[in-house]
Chains A and B, each alone.
Chain A
Amino acid sequence: MSGKTLYDKLWDSHLVRQDDGGTALLYIDRHLVHEVTSPQAFEGLRLAGRRPWRSQSILAVPDHNVPTTDRAAGISDPVSRVQVETLDLNCSEFDITEFTMTDLRQGIVHVIGPEQGATLPGMTVVCGDSHTSTHGAFGALAFGIGTSEVEHVLATQCLIQKKSGNMQIRVDGRLAPGVSAKDVVLAIIGRIGTAGGTGFALEFGGQVIRDLSMEGRMTVCNMAIEAGARAGMIAVDDTTIAYLEGRPYAPGGEHWDQAVSAWAELHSDADAGFDRVITLDAGSLAPQVSWGTSPEMVTAIDAVVPDPDAESDPVKREGMRNALAYMDLQPGMAITDIRPDHVFIGSCTNARIEDLRAAAAVIRGRRVAAGIKQALVVPGSGLVKQQAEAEGLDRVFTEAGFEWREPGCSMCLAMNADRLEAGDRCASTSNRNFEGRQGQGGRTHLVSPAMAAAAAVAGHFTDVRQAGDT
């Protein structure tokens, strides 16, 4: 009998029951909640006269709607304000821990969960947000759910699920300096496509993944959903354990030792079978830049905008034409000739301390180019912001001409006041380049923090591996 994958182990250990058709009841250990996808779920609970099954498993935070400027003034948009206030009221009614907007620990839900140690190896973690895949970096089964499922987890601590397939993505070799986790995951999506992981749970492995910090691993798992997979995950190792030790929600005392020994099992067995295996050699990987309106429309910094006429599939060809028209780009144009007018460093993909350090290292002692209308840094949490300020990174950014903001989702999806105007072009460390994602008519190019910083300084995309020479 062949061994189990990490996903098999996580699935099996959370199975409450399963019927003959394979429909399973899966137990949920951690439920993260934010203001946008929860109000209708709490309302449903109230209407049915139900209470949360285990309030203690829930951690709530407002992140999508919050302003990134002065918090003392509250939220000026009345519709956003009602949504955040509704979260506050629901959390107090149902005895749920919430880091409110003025709490130092507030931040993007996928940044604060791991930061607090509220995401642990071996857990099932859900949230009404597709980027919940982030938490899989800890050897957890983590995936996004809709609002009806949020209500279901609130009421029952379980989800009705069917098991996905197992896909392994192995990234071998070593990354060149200047090439990061973001470039790895963009290259993977470019390779397998935005539906390549549909129906699968992804496990990332290989030397490159093992060499990544927890921040880098979270960046990779965060974008599993952009490859179509609800869940991405990485085996537990010493890097995972070192990150978690001493965090507020991590187990303490005797439980810590017990946990660490149990976590040693959280990897795929050597003889485990995968339904699909993808391998990538990262040794020659260049920094990536997206050129279109889907994350699979991505290429290397030293490449050119592709030509739709060279695409044989008529549906894809039409998709590329639409994308180039929306992005106002011509086939054959060098990626390095694209000139963004906005730079956004932030989001649940790239707003952790390591991301800010990487961007600051490129910017230090330089100025934002004259053609850039706005350059924003939005830390992922209040604690990331505090740490960055302790290291003096805020001054590196502000002296270069960046705005240093309060934590939240901000211009990744532009639900708050931070957004692009029609026609604006943005170098963004976020995860989606869909039409209108950062503001109606806005144009998004997905890049790593170092690449965004290099573009801010140069005024056009440039290869960060050579940014020191220009």
Chain B
Amino acid sequence: MDKFTVISGIVTPLDRPNVDTDAIIPKQFLKSIHRTGFGPNLFDDWRYLDHGEPGKDNSRRPLNPDFVLNQSPYQDAVILLGRENFGCGSSREHAVWALLDYGFRVVIAPGFADIFFNNCFKNGVLPIVLDSVVVDRLFEAVAGSPGYTLRVDLPAQQITTPEQEIIGFEVDPFRKDCLIQGLDDIALTLQHADDIRRYEEARWLEVPWLFDK
């Protein structure tokens, strides 16, 4: 996983609530057995005018000019600005893989669905929850100046606007540390392998039927 410390870049506004993971990456692309290559099909149903399928040459497909990712300068954005309940629905981690593969490293919204929120941290993507009033203000700022950029400083837990306004944000200390250091969760957990074995031995005495089959 890539380390995450400070990221600066263009903010893409996606102004609708309840953006679900089916919309982020439609089901036909979940047939892949790999973690990469989902970027060209991020928001496929909204982004293209035709029906997408795995293996199709996306560079030849008709783009939907009304969709924000097809408008300049959002092709190069690294920060996505969303509305409440972002990432609801299916547990598919492919949604985060698609955002990351496209180039997004930060998603800002007033609220996230739990599984999506969790999946972000496992892949070096930082989901930031901000008060809906602040999110409203950011939407207005972006609408007023397309190409609007933000600087996101994870160690300091601060967002800096072009006007040098500082917006603080909360992040769980453990997750923050994993992101900054690019840590592998599994290796961390396996440091406690003895604890896991001790738990299993005690549990087996208490509820042996859970170990029957």
A77, A82, A147, A251: the one contacting B212 at CB < 8 Å is A251
B17, B91, B173, B196: the one contacting A129 at CB < 8 Å is B91
B207 contacts A198, C-beta separation under 8 Å:
no
B54, B83, B94, B192: the one contacting A25 at CB < 8 Å is B192
**Residues in B neighbouring A36, C-beta threshold 8 A:** 30-31, 92
- Given A148-B185, A440-B26, the answer on whether A16 and B93 have CB atoms closer than 8 Å is no
A79, A225, A440: the one contacting B54 at CB < 8 Å is A79
Q: Does A151 contact B (CB under 8 A)?
A: yes
Within the assembled complex, what's the spacing in Å between the Cα atoms of A256 and B207? 11
A157 contacts B196, C-beta separation under 8 Å:
yes
**Residues in A neighbouring B112, C-beta threshold 8 A:** 198
Which among A50, A82, A255 has the highest number of chain B CB atoms within 10 Å? A255
A149 contacts B118, C-beta separation under 8 Å:
yes
Q: Does A123 contact B (CB under 8 A)?
A: yes
Q: Which residue of B lies closest to A323 (CB)?
A: B18
- Given A16-B199, A249-B213, A434-B89, the answer on whether A149 and B122 have CB atoms closer than 8 Å is yes
- B27 → chain A closest CB, angstroms: 5
B185 contacts A152, C-beta separation under 8 Å:
yes
Within the assembled complex, what's the spacing in Å between the Cα atoms of A40 and B32? 9
Q: Does A349 contact B (CB under 8 A)?
A: no
Q: Which of A272-280, A281-289, A312-320, A445-453 touches B?
A: A312-320
Q: How many residues of A are counted as interface, with CB atoms below 8 angstroms from the partner's CB atoms?
A: 78
**Residues in B neighbouring A333, C-beta threshold 8 A:** none
- B106 → chain A closest CB, angstroms: 18
B-side residues, CB < 8 A to A, are 15-18, 20, 22-23, 26-28, 30-35, 45, 51, 54-55, 83-85, 88-94, 96, 111-115, 118-119, 122-123, 172-174, 185-186, 188-190, 192-193, 195-196, 199-200, 203, 207-213
8 example contacts (A-B, Cβ-Cβ < 8 A) are as follows A21-B174, A25-B192, A29-B210, A130-B115, A198-B111, A198-B112, A413-B27, A414-B27
9 smallest CB-CB distances across A and B, nearest first, come from: A251-B209, A148-B122, A39-B33, A146-B93, A146-B119, A144-B91, A255-B209, A195-B85, A130-B91
A-side residues, CB < 8 A to B, are 16-17, 19, 21, 23, 25, 27, 29, 36-37, 39-40, 43, 48, 50, 53, 56, 64-65, 77, 79-80, 82-83, 86, 120, 122-123, 128-130, 132, 144-149, 151-152, 155-158, 160, 162, 164, 194-195, 198-199, 225, 228-230, 249, 251-252, 255-256, 258-259, 262, 294, 315-316, 318-319, 322, 413-415, 432, 434-437, 440
